[in-house]
Structure 1
Amino acid sequence: MNVEMDKNSRKTSPISHYNVVFAFVLVICIIGQVKSDGSDHKYKSGDSVPLYANKVGPFHNPSETYRYFDLPFCSPAHIKDKKEALGEILNGDRLVSAPYKLDFLEDKESEIACKKRLTKEEVTKFREAVTKDYYFQMYYDDLPFWGFLGKVDKEGKTDPNEYKYYLFKHLHFEILHDKDHVIEINARTDPNALVDITEDTKVDVDFMYSVKWKETSTPFEKRMEKYSQSSSLPHHLEIHWFSIINSCVTVLLLTGFLATILMRVLKNDFVKYAHDEEEADDQEECGWKYIHGDVFRFPKYKTFLAAAIGSGTQLFTLTLFIFIMALVGVFYPYNRGALFTALVVIYALTSGIAGYTAASFYCQLEGTNWVRNLLLTGGLFCGPLFLTFCFLNTVAIAYTATAALPFGTIVVIFLIWALVTSPLLVLGGIAGKNGKAEFQAPCRTTKYPREIPPLPWYRGTLPQMAMAGFLPFSAIYIELYYIFASIWGHRIYTIYSILFIVFIILLIVTAFITVALTYFQLASEDHKWWWRSFLCGGSTGLFIYGYCLYYYYARSDMSGFMQTSFFFGYMACICYGFFLMLGMVGFRASLFFVRHIYRSIKCE
């Protein structure tokens, strides 16, 4: 049996100074790639090549993984834990020395790894693992390979009580090499070497393995291409491209059509208002010009709005730099933990952007309690994420899963937050407070606000959010499946160029649809557009979370309390991050648009 993973086959803004920091982060992430004990990956005949067992777990529940020796396998006399980086631990990796010895260029036939007498409890434990379709993962010279623990024989049987359960006891390793490098490793089980674990009886097991070395012409630099090709769904890649292009063209055509209509309407408005000014200065105004004295009236809860814009800006910056790193090849397949390390480090170092943006905008809105605003900015995203982590980590501890972070890792993350994130947030806030400019309003705000006329139900906040989120979501929903299959499955996402194009289209469509809805809101003489534009821009995040429900129940086989809580808990945090980021994009686009149209007319 081939056990590949796919079972079915102002003042000078301080922001500019962060460029140096980002470059530094990029270098750190590139040179901080995980390496094996053989740092140059070169070996001579008979050299020991590092082999580590990582984890085991049910195939359909990627978050529910356990240490390899949590199952009663034969363990070496001295189990050696591999020292792991922060990102590896966050990824749930717990590498330990494996019970097999695969020396470089040494063939072996039917070597005994160990002999063990399984107790009734151990047989029951193995049978439960086989029933749940457990797999194991190992790393040989940083090359991952997988296998299943056993199989269930259901042939000709309809009653589950009649099923037969077997444990594989012989692994055959086929290793390809290019002179002094390991290029590829495959693991297969001997279909005839089975141990019957159907009954709760003691069983004697000889865990066997064999090794066969073969030479290949594949160079060392291309040894990871195997995982890229198999995980990018090569048979469906053209269909994937076609689907994405078709979706993008449809959305862009619709967006362009609506943009043309909006531009014509605006042009007619400008001509009409200019004509009215020439005919009679005392003529009663109507439409969006009528509320020029209220449109730049500062909104309620401006502390929250400024904090949300600051957090959204930080997340937007984080996303851009993650894309840059992905496009230059930092996140090559199975560069273990690189993505999590980059997320933690870049988020910490970009907190100054959040502080600067939030404090600067808050002070432009004539806010006085900038310290409270700064505290709210720091906790707006991290607060819900921390609470979610506390709950899910407790669940993982109860399950004794590898997703439970060790105390030392939690301390490291806390120190990063206390020594890097918080100080940079404060420094950015101080710079934003001291370097703020006046709010640029082309119209003078009246002393008292005008009354907003009664509006139909579909012009309410929730219907507008639904309309605003649907179009951007329709541009990305095809790509969501592949992303979910990577995050919550065993696929590897490598086609970042497609993802980057989709992300750019998402930003464009979000900005446009929010601007269009803002115009219609102002044309209805509703001047409370500030929060509405942010909520409409961020509403795509709610659609993505709705897709989570569909994916979980219709497109995946995930089950169990731990996997369910991890999926919906962390996806809630991700979608909330999208809400803040896209809300910021929608608000910024609307603010630019509102300033532009009111500069274009004469308002007294």
Structure 2
Amino acid sequence: MAADYRLSLNLGRWLLFLLAFSCAEAFYIPGWSIKSYKDNEAIPLLVNKVYSDNTQLQYAYYDLPFVCPPTGVHHAGSSLLSGQSISLNLGEVLRGDRITQSDIELVMGQDQECNFLCTKSVSRKDLKRAREMVKDGYVVEWIVDNLPGATSFITVDKSKRYYAAGFKLGYKDIAPTSGKMRYYINNHFTIVIRYRKAPGKDGERGGKVVVGFEVYTKSIGANKRTESGCPGDVSDVDTAMELYLHPNGTDFALQYPHSSYQPPESEQDIEDGAMLDIPYSYSVYWREDEKIEWGHRWDLYFVNQEEGSRIHWLAIINSLIISGSLSAIVAIILGRTIRGDIKTYKDSSLEDGKGKLKRKSRPGSGARTPKSGEKTGTGLLDQVGDTENDADVSSDEEALEDVTGWKLLHGDVFRSPSYGYLLAPLVGSGMQLVFMAVGLLFLSSLGILNPSFRGGFVSVGVGLFVFAGVFSGYFSGRVYKTFGGKNWRKNTIITATLFPGLLFALVFVLNLFVWAQASSTALPFGTLVGIIMLWLCIQLPLVYAGSWYGWVRTGAWEHPTKTTSIQRQIPIQPWYIRSPQSILLAGLIPFAVIFIELLFVFQSVWQDKSGYYYVFGFLSVVSIILILTIAEVTIVTIYIKLCSEDYNWWWHSFFVGGGSAVWVFLYCVWYYFTKLHIEGFVSGLLFFSYSFMACVVYGLLCGTVGFLTAYAFVRRIYA
């Protein structure tokens, strides 16, 4: 079994090396993919999407009915027409990106005081949607030189400047007299591009690199604008662009700019054909900044996260304390208790003179004669054990006084479990997820999967999962044959379709809800077809190949003891050993290891959608400690179960390993009601559905670790 682990690890290392090499050749790696520009060279500005921390629904920027539509004109610096989409990888599509060429023109080194973009006529229906999106706090994402447009902030002590990716679509304010809420659209954009001399010979030839992209917004009313459409003075604005039309069809904000009158919502939404004209304009300023190195230009997006480094260290120390305590308990079990039990067992066998294991006769724990018609096996097939009567009772009771507990289960401990045909595919899928997780953490810790590789984390994760199907088939096939299964092709189909099929079905159902909202979060039909092709045309053959190798070439694992034909009767178990209670209690310990780091992960995924989780070094350390903790908890739990003369440990070890997933899901529920401000049925459905899928993935991964650890432990003590 150890040789199989080493073979699998070597294959995994080669796969990760090849994948890392391909990423290094094709994508951004810090310090390698530097793009420089000459003076007066055009730089394209791309628009992406709008998103909010208060909802899970995202929308493509050009799909909004109240912004300037693309003109379809070709601009210098790009081979695309405005409004044309750039090619996206799978990860970008899955995260809801819709990146297109814009009409905003940027020229290296050339300031532009004001450029008029367009005047957009908006109906009352579209105004209502604009007000709702401003109310939900939607943020816009633009991209220049692969940097997202950011809002600049200063820390409280004024020692550092940091970025928050994106800028507000608009803002809301309370009228001072009426006390009612008013909504305003940001329709003027001041773009500040920070640059510096390019490193190396490129800089000596006059090349410059972009090291910062800031966007400052203003809401400027339609009055006091010049003939070109630009505001007379951007720095002195009298009236903002309010998202409001007077019920009689006139532009009430122009006629009465200082009025505080606000009709009820029912009057605002009357469809009388009235339109509100919203003018859009922008300014561009270039500022040289030698303080920011090109290789560290993303650091400004992470200043806030760096302040939490002490908490990350606290999480690691907390994890080490828990894991260290468990390690001491496991050392005591392995070093003293089990060795003492084995020594006593050997002494009893030698005193008997026959070399056979003797059992202590005790009520409720001895073998019983099966009733008429009763099956004697509980696994895939009825197990045929030793045909000889290995339950002979010695007349010398004194020699058997110490033969108790787990030593009595030598003839039942490797009995195949019920529903083993489901456990084997789950273990295979769990190993598939283990290799995917290890690969992602490894590549992220090296810096290959970084924020500049947009969508790379998801794309590489899907690729690793698909190609790790060979490991899924291998472990599933071996475990299935160990359980006594016969139809390995059926097991292969179940392994390749059970978990991925359930996952795809849930995503497809959720996609129907998102499609109905016309959100960019919805997966296009072509993407769904592509995922199915990856699943059926690549993963399925790989699972088949791995299953064939595990079944035919390597075969089942050999057990150190034979299984008897008659099952022992299991005595009544204490409450803390029974499955639900012991699973929850054991799962609480691994959850205590990761719950501090979970706060940062949840904040990055659910709250700071504009932010990026990047402390993968801390996450890798915590993950290693988590795996060790799960292994130790499983060993302790299974040892206690065996000492209670309960040999049904197969499924129990799997559930104990993944038991912390229950606590993680409960943490998701707590986080939703206490930390988030998500509104709407679809957004809540997406949150709980995605959380459930993440917990299932986590549970499968950890459950597989627990199962394999328990199997190695049981084989060891009975060898």
TM-score by length of 1: 0.91
**C-alpha contact 1:74 1:99 (8 A) present in aligned 2:** no
- 1:499 aligned to 2:619? yes
Residue type at the aligned position of 2:307:
H
In the other structure, the counterpart of 1:400 is 518
Distance, in Å, in 2 between the alignment partners of 1:471 and 1:509 is 8
Q: Does 1:207 align with 2:280?
A: yes
Q: What's 2:102 paired with?
A: 98
Q: Which amino acid aligns with 1:494?
A: Y
* Equivalent residue, structure 2, for 1:6: none
Worse-matched range after superposition: 95-104 or 469-478: 95-104
Match of 2:41 in 1: 47
Contact 1:388 1:570 in 2 (8 A): no
Distance change (3 Å), C-alpha of 1:175 and 1:521: same
8 A Cα contact 1:15 1:353, kept in partner: no
- The structure 1 residue matched to 2:216, chosen from 159, 163, 188, is 188
Structure 1 residue 522 displacement after superposition: 0.6
Query: Are the equivalent residues in 1 in contact too, given 2:406–2:645 (CA < 8 A)?
Result: yes
Residue 568 of structure 1 corresponds to: 688
Structure 1: distance between partners of 2:406 and 2:146: 62
The answer to whether the 8 Å contact 2:45/2:142 transfers is yes
Aligned residues of 2:312 and 2:597 also touching (Cα < 8 A): no
Question: Alpha-carbon deviation of 1:187?
Answer: 0.7
1:32 corresponds to:
26
Task: Tell me, in whole angstroms, the C-alpha distance in 1 between the residues paired with 2:125 and 2:144.
Answer: 31
Check conservation: 2:320, 2:625, Cα contact below 8 A: no
Instruction: Check conservation: 1:67, 1:401, Cα contact below 8 A.
Output: yes
With over 3 angstroms needed to count, the CA separation of the structure-2 counterparts of 1:158 and 1:368, relative to structure 1, is farther
1:171-570 correspondence runs (5 A): 171-179=189-197, 180-190=208-218, 192=237, 194-199=240-245, 200=268, 202-217=275-290, 218-230=292-304, 233-238=305-310, 240-263=311-334, 264-280=336-352, 282=394, 283-284=399-400, 285-490=403-608, 491-570=611-690
% same residue = 29
**Are residues 1:134 and 2:118 paired?**
no
Q: 1:447 to 1:390 in 2, by over 3 A?
A: same
Alignment partners' CA distance in 1, 2:280 and 2:121: 11
Any conservation in 2 of the 1:459–1:521 contact (CA below 8 Å)? yes
The Cα shift of 1:430 comes to: 1.2
Equivalent pair of 1:538/1:581 in contact (CA under 8 Å): yes
* Contact 1:75/1:99, CA 8 A, preserved across alignment: no
- Which of 168, 190, 200 aligns to 1:148? It is 168
Cα deviation per residue 1:530-554 (whole Å; 9 max; x = unaligned)?
1111111111122211111111111
Partner SS for 1:476: helix
Q: Comparing both structures, which one devotes a greater share of its residues to helix? A: 1
CA distance in 2, matches of 1:125, 1:536: 49
Instruction: Tell me, yes or no, if the aligned pair for 2:195 and 2:286 is still in contact at 8 Å.
Output: yes
In 2, Cα distance between equivalents of 1:260 and 1:410? 50
How far apart are residue 141 of structure 1 and its match?
Answer: 1.4
- Compute the displacement of 1:574 (Å): 1.6
State the partner residue of 1:602. none
Residues 20-42 of structure 1 deviation map (CA, whole Å, 9 limit, x = unaligned):
4443222233333379xxx8622
SS in 1 for 2:422: helix
Structure 2 unaligned runs (5+)? 73-82, 150-165, 198-207, 220-236, 246-267, 269-273, 354-393
**Inter-CA distance 13–134: structure 2 relative to 1 (3 Å threshold):** closer
Conservation of the 8 A alpha-carbon contact between 1:306 and 1:361: yes
Residue number in structure 2 paired with 1:3: none
Question: 1:40 & 1:587 partners in 2: Cα distance?
Answer: 47
Across the aligned residues of Structure 1 and Structure 2, the Cα RMSD in angstroms comes to: 2.3
Letter paired with 1:187: V
Query: Is it true that 1:115 corresponds to 2:119 in the alignment?
Result: yes
Give unmatched runs, 5+ long, in structure 1. Answer: 1-9, 600-604
What's 1:579 paired with?
699
Tell me how far apart the structure 1 counterparts of residues 533 and 96 of structure 2 sit (CA, whole Å): 20
After TM superposition, give the deviation of residue 260 of structure 1 in Å: 4.2
Q: Which residue of 2 aligns with 1:67?
A: 60
Give yes or no for contact 1:545–1:575 (8 Å, CA) kept in 2: yes
1:514–1:589 CA contact under 8 A, matched in 2:
yes
Q: Once the 2 structures are TM-superposed, how far is the Cα of residue 252 of structure 1 from its aligned partner?
A: 2.3
DSSP-derived class of the 1:402 partner: coil
CA contact (8 A) 1:351 1:422 kept: yes
Contact 1:312 1:580 in 2 (8 A): yes
Higher relative contact order (CA 8 A, sep 6+): 1
SS in 2 for 1:184: strand
Matched residue, 2:50: 56
Q: Which amino acid aligns with 1:519?
A: Y
CA contact (8 A) 2:12 2:435 kept: no
* Structure of greater Rg: 2
Report if the CA contact (8 A) 1:119-1:203 is conserved. Answer: yes
Note the alpha carbon deviations across 1:555-591, whole angstroms, 9 max, x for none: 2222222222222112212211111111111111111
**Letter in structure 2 aligned against 1:65:** Q
Query: Alignment partner of 2:655: what SS?
Result: helix
In 2, distance between residues paired with 1:493 and 1:595? 41
1:472–1:509 CA contact under 8 A, matched in 2: yes
Q: Contact 1:118/1:202 (CA < 8 Å) preserved in 2?
A: yes
Q: Letter of the aligned partner of 1:276 in structure 2? A: S
Change (3 A) 1:309 1:278: same
Provide Cα deviations, 1:429-472, integer angstroms capped at 9, x if missing partner: 11111112443222222111111011123221111101110000
Distance 1:13 1:476, change over 3 A: closer
| Cα distance in 1 for residues equivalent to 2:693 and 2:126 | 39
Q: Cα offset for 1:275?
A: 4.1
Structure 2 residue identity aligned to 1:213 = W
Deviation (angstroms), 1:13? 6.3
Distance 1:17 1:291, change over 3 A: closer
